[in-house]
Amino acid sequence: MGDKGIIRQRTLASTVACHGVGLHGGERITMSLRPADAGTGIVFRRIDAGAEVPALWNHTVNATLCTILSNGEGIEIKTVEHLMAALAGSGVDNAIVELDGAEVPAMDGSAAPFVAMIDQAGTVTQDLPRRAIKILKPIEVTGQGASAALLPDHGFSMSFEIEFENPLIRFQDMMVTFEADTFRAELSRARTFGMLDDVERLRAAGLVQGGSLKNAIVISGDRILNRGGLRYADEFVRHKLLDAYGDLYLAGGPIIGQFRGLRSGHAHTRMLLAALFADPEAWCMTTIADTAGMPAIAWPLRQRVHA
């Protein structure tokens, strides 16, 4: 074959399911991850509403607390970012995500339970080459004291800076260059976090109905309310990287370039992808050579073999 040496697409080897509570709606949800044909991409299917929505930036709605997909006719899927991060970090190009409700289960507030599901299902290569989005010129969006940018680079890397008044967080920054296991090792276990005051305010407004110490780090003043404390000393900035990584996968493939987030959130990453794809000179689609000397890209060059 002419495409020998080119990374090929992958899907799941079998179907896996989980049950959990939606962070925002609080309802119990069953979610299945199913194999899909090459070229399908990640597609969400609401079996309770008979609707499908592709996991793409141009099918998102403006939101700040989480990333929400919409079919444009009122059918939404909330909080897709942690699952998208797990799929990206596990090298899954094609999958059907089946849900019986409007939200991806929160699980433990990180991407680790979804990574475990994908490991349980296993992955297989498919006939089409993987398509990546190569950044050709810098794109930046700013607003509300924050910014997000994509810059040309040989591999994929991310950096993030956060700054909070809270004495436990203050200033944290991190830069990650992605290699085979980077997402799993460095980011996948970092949990969502919130301030107790905010959680109480949001709950009174009918939001975060499913939020609890089981699926988020809750901070009160200079105290972590969760027993067991933090999973990483800088878990907060790692979770922001995880969120941005998941949101960037809504580009429709891995990105070859550098992401920089400065106090940014879901809305900035969404605007960033819109700005990128609005400029035909800012990006191109490319395949990825499977050579040992190739710089690391957005996800594993070497897939794990699951016993």
- Measured from the CB atom, is 32 or 269 closer to Zn ion? 269
User: Strand, helix or coil at 252?
Assistant: coil
Q: Which of 192, 258, 264, 269 forms a contact with Zn ion (CB under 5 A)?
A: 192
Binding to Zn ion by CB under 5 A, coded x per residue (else -) over 48-87, reads: ----------------------------------------
Task: Please report how close the Cβ of residue 239 comes to Zn ion at its closest, in angstroms.
Answer: 6
Task: Please report how close the Cβ of residue 111 comes to Zn ion at its closest, in angstroms.
Answer: 9
> Which is catalytic among the residues 82, 239, 266, 268?
266
Q: Does 110 bind Zn ion (CB under 5 A)?
A: no
- Measured from the CB atom, is 93 or 243 closer to Zn ion? 243
For residue 91, the Cα-to-chain-centroid distance in whole angstroms is 12
Q: Pick the piece of the chain touching Zn ion (CB under 5 A) from 87-95, 125-133, 235-243, 297-305.
A: 235-243
306 is an active site residue: no
Q: Which of 22, 243, 255, 265 forms a contact with Zn ion (CB under 5 A)?
A: 243
- Cβ atoms within 10 Å of 40's Cβ, excluding its own: 16
Q: Strands 156-163 and 255-262, how do they pair?
A: parallel
Best CA proximity match to 83, nearest among 60, 63, 112, 56: 112
Question: Where would I find the beta strands (DSSP E) of the chain?
Answer: 8-12, 16-21, 28-35, 42-46, 51-54, 60-61, 68-70, 76-77, 95-99, 123-129, 132-135, 139-143, 146-151, 156-163, 171-177, 193-195, 217-220, 223-224, 255-262, 283-286
- Give the separation between CA 143 and CA 150, rounded to whole angstroms: 16
- Measured from the CB atom, is 7 or 219 closer to Zn ion? 219
**Total residues binding Zn ion (CB under 5 A):** 2
Q: Does 247 bind Zn ion (CB under 5 A)?
A: no
- Measured from the CB atom, is 192 or 226 closer to Zn ion? 192
Residues recognised as catalytic:
266
Q: Contact residues for Zn ion (CB under 5 A)? A: 192, 243
